[in-house]
Chain A
Amino acid sequence: MRKLKLIIIVFLFSGQLTGQSQSDLPKPFNNFEHHIGMVANGTGDMGMIYQLSYRLFYKNTGVNFTVYPFFSDYLNEYNLGLTFMYRFFQKEKIELLIIQNNYYFESDDFPTEYFYPSGYFNNGLGIEADFIIKHDFNIDLMLGGSFYKNFESIVPFFGLGFHYKL
């Protein structure tokens, strides 16, 4: 009986140690999340702009890179975006984030007297709700206010996107 007790104690202790050593192991990439998807943004009189999107999160802080290219014989334009995000609420089906977005637009179509050299910035602040549809797939709604065309005016912005968690 004593032997049995000793075996059980040793077994439990060794199990605890193994668990401890596993949790203490460095996990350099475990806190990172990668998301890839598409976003449609609407700001001011620009209409909807569609963008490819990549998101990198470290715990609750993230950055979102977006790009929209359009190159043709009659028009060349592109849009680059960098958004900083902070996730302040997280449940199984929904996440809420504060977002600060920065977009740069450049187009052949802009009259150069208004847009020197030929592009402008939009800088916004808003809130985003991510609806988790199926574990790794979420649909995102964005809403906020934005400084429009190099701080010329303030306009509301909205966005809709989908992302897949890699």
Chain B
Amino acid sequence: MIMLLILLSTSILGQEKKNDEKIGQQKHSVGVAAGFTTGFGLSYRYLPKKLGIQATFLILPNNYYSSFGATVLFKVIQRKNSWFYLYQSNLYSTYRTSGFNCGCPYYEWFNGLGFGTEILLGKHFGLNFMGGVGFYENFDKFTLTGETGLYFKF
């Protein structure tokens, strides 16, 4: 009887520990993101193990502005309340110009490279801060970049 109780309690403790370890390591995330090289708008992340992707897009009416971002994420450190990763981002944005070029569609590429961290807020929310360097406006400009995002993880 005692042996049985010990075995049962051990297995329950093990289960709890396993659940705790899974917090913050969910594969899927959806949320909103804003960044110079990762993109603005709705965002989805898929991170099965160490390597993952992030897709972010925003489409405004009348082709005024739209952007599509694809980012590769690589998890470096996983901790209980946070994780640290490296990213490589690619953003394609298009908009209608104003002034004497009025009405002409225009497009730009933005590419970034940097690091980021996700701070877990409770069991399902993650607040992201990312920083690095990036090429702006079709490789015309090279400078710092910063990105942020809030995700629901499941």
| Residues of A that sit less than 8 Å from B by CB | 36-38, 50-52, 68-73, 133-137, 162, 164, 166
| Residues of B that sit less than 8 Å from A by CB | 77, 79-82, 84, 115, 117, 119-120, 129, 131-133, 140-144, 146
A166 with B82: CB separation less than 8 A: no
Residue among B79, B132, B144 with the highest chain A CB neighbour number at 10 A: B144
Say what secondary structure dominates the interface of chain A: strand
A70 with B117, Cβ < 8 A, contacts A136-B82, A166-B77, A166-B84 known: no
Residue among B77, B82, B117, B129 with the highest chain A CB neighbour number at 10 A: B117
Q: Specify which chain B residues have a CB less than 8 angstroms from the CB of A69 in the assembled complex.
A: 133, 142-144
Residue among B82, B131, B133, B146 with the highest chain A CB neighbour number at 10 A: B131
A161 to chain B, nearest CB (A): 10
Report Cα–Cα, A162/B116, bound state, in Å.
11
Report Cα–Cα, A135/B142, bound state, in Å.
33
Say what secondary structure dominates the interface of chain B: strand
A137 with B117: CB separation less than 8 A: yes
B133 with A52: CB separation less than 8 A: yes
Report Cα–Cα, A52/B82, bound state, in Å.
20
Q: Specify which chain A residues have a CB less than 8 angstroms from the CB of B81 in the assembled complex.
A: 134-136
B122 to chain A, nearest CB (A): 12
Q: Specify which chain A residues have a CB less than 8 angstroms from the CB of B119 in the assembled complex.
A: 133-134, 137
A136 with B79: CB separation less than 8 A: yes
Q: Specify which chain A residues have a CB less than 8 angstroms from the CB of B146 in the assembled complex.
A: 38, 50
Find the B residue at minimum CB distance from A36.
B115
B93 to chain A, nearest CB (A): 18
Report Cα–Cα, A91/B140, bound state, in Å.
46
A164 with B144, Cβ < 8 A, contacts A52-B132, A134-B119 known: no
